[in-house]
């Protein structure tokens, strides 16, 4: 008799969570890149627009999200940037290419860092875009090393968000900018069904918890940032989880296929296949939100 596939494990805290995040992105790197291309994050549309039925506009929509965060945060051309949670380098290569920035990308996944460096070399951007396997909270960079700290869809994986805002403040030069785009949760009390939906999303996406956009703003201010601005982009990005665009395969290949995949890569990979329907429900019900934050380290 075929052994059953065990359920996904609850993410651990602290360094155990870092290990779980590293493993998740190591084992899903090719799945994300094959399905989503160089940008492993949401797309962005104007009101009333939606994705093409075959997902053909994926690159345009995900590339636009990068440009929207550049504009929201007023990222200066030629900046020195720390990219926190750089993935396979899609946003960083835009920052290093059209904007002429110098980017140091960090990720917990050694495979992601290696792939991002390959892409930078292929694009002729290796001198200005370098990627490392590092914990974003202990990079070893001295104080005031960067003009911009950039975090696109990475804060959700950090169990200590106050520590992130404090570290970003330390690493930025006076007048430097923090640019964040993040998944979030609706502010206020959730009912039992909503809490269970959030729990399932956190479980399958290897995240410790969600903060609301209001909480992100408060954390930035508490860390000493000024000129904090938050934009709710939930409606603009929600179409990213439409099945035709998200292109996350449904669990319709049969239990044997799922067992084979779990045996080959580990049970954690199954969270990839659960993500689409859960995130779509989260956006449809308003439980999951999405926003951008800009904050400035004040000058003396």
Per-residue pLDDT at 258: 53
Confidence of residue 8 (pLDDT cuts 50, 70, 90): very low
User: What kind and span of H or E run contains 258?
Assistant: helix 255-265
Torsion of CA 180, 183, 185, 187, to 10 degrees: 20
Q: What are the distances in angstroms from CA 9 to CA 68, 116, 279?
A: 35, 28, 19
Please indicate whether residue 225 or residue 54 has the higher confidence score (pLDDT). 225
Tokens in use for 37? 């291309």
Q: How far apart are CA 284 and CA 212, in angstroms?
A: 17
Tell me which residue of 227, 235, 62 sits closest to 152, measured CA to CA.
62
The CATH-assigned architecture of domain 14-296 is 3-Layer(aba) Sandwich (3.40)
Query: pTM for this one?
Result: 0.84
Confidence of residue 277 (pLDDT cuts 50, 70, 90): confident
Per-residue pLDDT at 85: 94
Summarize the confidence of residues 71-78 as an average pLDDT: 98
Per-residue pLDDT at 203: 85
pLDDT in tens, 122-149: 999 999 999 999 999 999 999 999 999 9
Q: What one-character DSSP code corresponds to residue 100?
A: -
Tell me which residue of 115, 132, 108, 116 sits closest to 21, measured CA to CA.
108
């Amino acid at each position: 008799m075929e052994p059953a596939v065990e359920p996904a494990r609850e993410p651990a805290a602290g360094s155990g969570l870092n290990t779980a995040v590293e493993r998740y992105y190591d084992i899903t790197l090719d799945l994300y890149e094959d399905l989503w291309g160089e940008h492993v994050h949401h797309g962005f549309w104007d009101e009333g627009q939606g994705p093409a039925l075959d997902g053909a506009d994926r690159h345009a929509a995900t590339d636009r999200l990068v440009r929207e965060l550049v504009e929201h945060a007023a990222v200066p051309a030629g900046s020195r940037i720390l990219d926190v949670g750089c993935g396979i380098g899609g946003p960083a290569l835009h920052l290093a290419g059209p904007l002429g920035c110098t980017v140091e990308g960090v990720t917990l996944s050694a495979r992601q860092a290696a792939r991002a460096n390959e892409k930078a070399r292929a694009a002729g951007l290796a001198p200005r875009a370098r990627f490392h396997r590092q914990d974003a909270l202990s990079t070893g960079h001295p104080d005031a090393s960067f003009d911009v700290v950039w975090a696109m869809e990475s804060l959700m994986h950090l169990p200590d968000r106050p520590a992130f805002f404090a570290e970003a403040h330390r690493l930025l030069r006076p007048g430097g900018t923090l640019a964040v785009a993040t998944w979030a949760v609706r502010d206020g009390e959730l009912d039992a069904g909503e809490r269970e939906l959030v729990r399932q999303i956190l479980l399958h996406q290897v995240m410790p918890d969600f903060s609301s956009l209001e909480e992100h703003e408060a954390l930035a201010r508490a860390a000493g940032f000024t000129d904090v601005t938050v934009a709710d982009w939930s409606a603009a990005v929600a179409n990213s989880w439409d099945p035709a665009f998200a292109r996350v395969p449904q669990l319709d290949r049969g239990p044997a296929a799922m067992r084979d995949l779990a045996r080959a890569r580990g049970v954690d990979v199954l969270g990839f296949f659960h993500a689409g329907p859960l995130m779509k429900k989260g956006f449809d019900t308003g439980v999951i939100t999405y926003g951008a934050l800009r904050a400035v380290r004040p000058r003396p």
